Amino acid sequence: MRFLFLLFFAFLSSCGGGGSNSTPSPNPTPSAPTFSWEVVSPESQGLSAEKVTAAMNFAMEDGRYTQAAIIIKNGKIVAERYRGIGPNEVTELVDHPQTFWTADLLNNIYGSRDANSFVTSWSVAKSITSILFGIALEQGYFSGSLDTTAATYLSEWANDSKKTITIKNLLDMRSGLVPKCYSDAGGWVECDGSGMDGGGGYVSADDQLTECINNRNLAATGQTHSWYQGGNYNYDEGDFVYQNCDTQVLGEIFFRAVGQDIKTFADTYLFSKIGIPPDSAQWWRDNTFGGQANGNYLTYCCLDMKARDFARIALLLVNNGVWLGEQVIPLSYIQAIKNITSTSIVLGDYFQGSISYGLKFWTLYGGTICGLDEVGNYQNNNEKCVANNTIITPQGFDGQYPSIDFQNNLIMIRFSLYRHANTLNATEKKMVADSPPAPVNYIITAPVVATSPTSISKTFPQHVFWYMLNNSN
């Protein structure tokens, strides 16, 4: 972890021989405030060390593919662990019939991890993109309102049915645009619910923007679609449909409205404000050399940072957007994020209950039964439940979770094993292989992908982790 170091200024002093002839030293120039993580015991923050340890053991168990886990209470780190790949994980991958892994290769790529190792955001980047929209909105962009139509900045949408889609619709995944998936038989087609989707309309192409802007139509309302909640519900205008393209389009809107790509803006108005240097916030781009000054930033995914850097962003949110006395994120936007519990409910059996999604943030579905684990075991109604819609959580593929309990000033950081993009060669850095849609980075950076399409719930059921934390005080 890189910390900002306090700058020391030399004091000018006189070397004269008499008091009346000496030149007084000027007052030192005030230095910028700095931040360092304070690591304390769980007990000092009212938590049980035994139960916090149990929660961390659960998170880091061999077989969950966890690289980093941090628990923060009242702005202080009470538990923190890092590890490389475990023996059981190596065996699982080597023995899997659909993988090419060898034990030596896995141990070489994932064998050692610490606090200075990078993790990747996957879709957690969507939430950070949203934060940047909130900051830019406060600066007067987007005509001062997220209800401004996307077509205000996208001339491509100005003269068709997409002209009514607002920036807020895109932030909430309620654009009404059909998710596109890649088919070996027909190229980019409407997703059919067969598992071909690759993550919510993921566009694995050298140009990951053109498909998103030009080749999606509004979905027909009052009909079932295979991609909408498992094909079990009629789709209506304004319904929630998760797809990466909505966020990728937001990156282009941002670029055209603000005049800066989202990474440049983030370095200036977010990352630097909270002590994250540019080289510690590395955002992936596609391979379109004409877009956004030599590559469209992947605003829906793939922001590489250290786990403690993601923790800084979570702490900024907990502190209502304030960092060392400066309002970095507008308070009104923080309140809007908190209010998604009442404004952006996502219903249906597809989610096994009621959760919320809005402004690129999820809430955690806890259910009415306390202590429900991934297979439905251990209930205890004398212990604290994970209540519905009380935990705000950016969420990324493969179990990337900087999750926040605002009420209890509690943060949980968990990231899966990752091979930092800087260790890849030029060919590997491409988002796609020669035959799309086989994203090279999925294969190389997230080994659990090879074992199960339900890897997130399989390896790290975060509601269990939160249940254990909720009962640690």
pLDDT for 188 equals 74
Q: How far is CA 104 from the centre of its chain?
A: 31
**pLDDT over threshold 50, residue 361:** yes
pLDDT for 1 equals 30
Over residues 277-287, the mean pLDDT reads 87
* Distance separating alpha carbons of residues 350 and 366, to the nearest angstrom: 15
Over residues 260-280, the mean pLDDT reads 95
- Cβ atoms 350, 225 nearer than 8 A: no
pLDDT tens string 21-69: 333 333 443 444 689 999 999 999 999 999 999 999 999 999 888 999 9
pLDDT for 398 equals 80
Q: Cα dist. 309→269, 282, 290, 409 in Å?
A: 15, 12, 31, 18
**pLDDT over threshold 50, residue 258:** yes
- The amino acid occupying position 120 is T
Name the strand (E) or helix (H) holding 83. Answer: none
pLDDT for 333 equals 98
* Distance separating alpha carbons of residues 444 and 422, to the nearest angstrom: 12
For the chain, list the domains and their CATH numbers: 46-121+301-473 (3.40.710), 124-265+288-300 (no CATH)
pLDDT for 358 equals 93
Over residues 409-418, the mean pLDDT reads 94
Reported confidence tier of residue 428, pLDDT bands at 50, 70, 90:
low
pLDDT for 448 equals 54
- Cβ atoms 280, 238 nearer than 8 A: no
pLDDT for 457 equals 42
Residue 437: asked if its preceding bond is cis (omega within 30°), the reply is yes
Name the strand (E) or helix (H) holding 254. Answer: helix 244-258
Any idea which residue has 């957007």 for tokens? 321
Q: What is the pTM of this model?
A: 0.86
pLDDT tens string 98-136: 667 789 988 988 889 999 999 999 899 999 999 999 999
DSSP letters for 39-82: B--TGGGT--HHHHHHHHHHHH-TTS-EEEEEEEETTEEEEEEE
Query: Higher model confidence: residue 269 or residue 243?
Result: 269
Q: What is the DSSP letter of 166?
A: B
Q: Which distant-in-sequence residues (6+ apart) come within 8 Å of 36 by Cβ?
A: 3
Any idea which residue has 């050399």 for tokens? 289
Over residues 85-99, the mean pLDDT reads 82
pLDDT for 439 equals 38
pLDDT tens string 202-242: 555 677 788 889 888 999 999 998 888 778 888 999 888 88
Instruction: Work out the percent of the chain whose per-residue pLDDT is above 70.
Output: 72
pLDDT for 290 equals 66
pLDDT for 447 equals 54
Let me know if 360 is exposed, middle or buried by CB neighbors in 10 A (0-12, 13-18, 19+). Answer: buried
pLDDT for 419 equals 82
* Distance separating alpha carbons of residues 394 and 391, to the nearest angstrom: 10
Over residues 163-192, the mean pLDDT reads 85
**Average pLDDT, whole number, for the chain?**
79
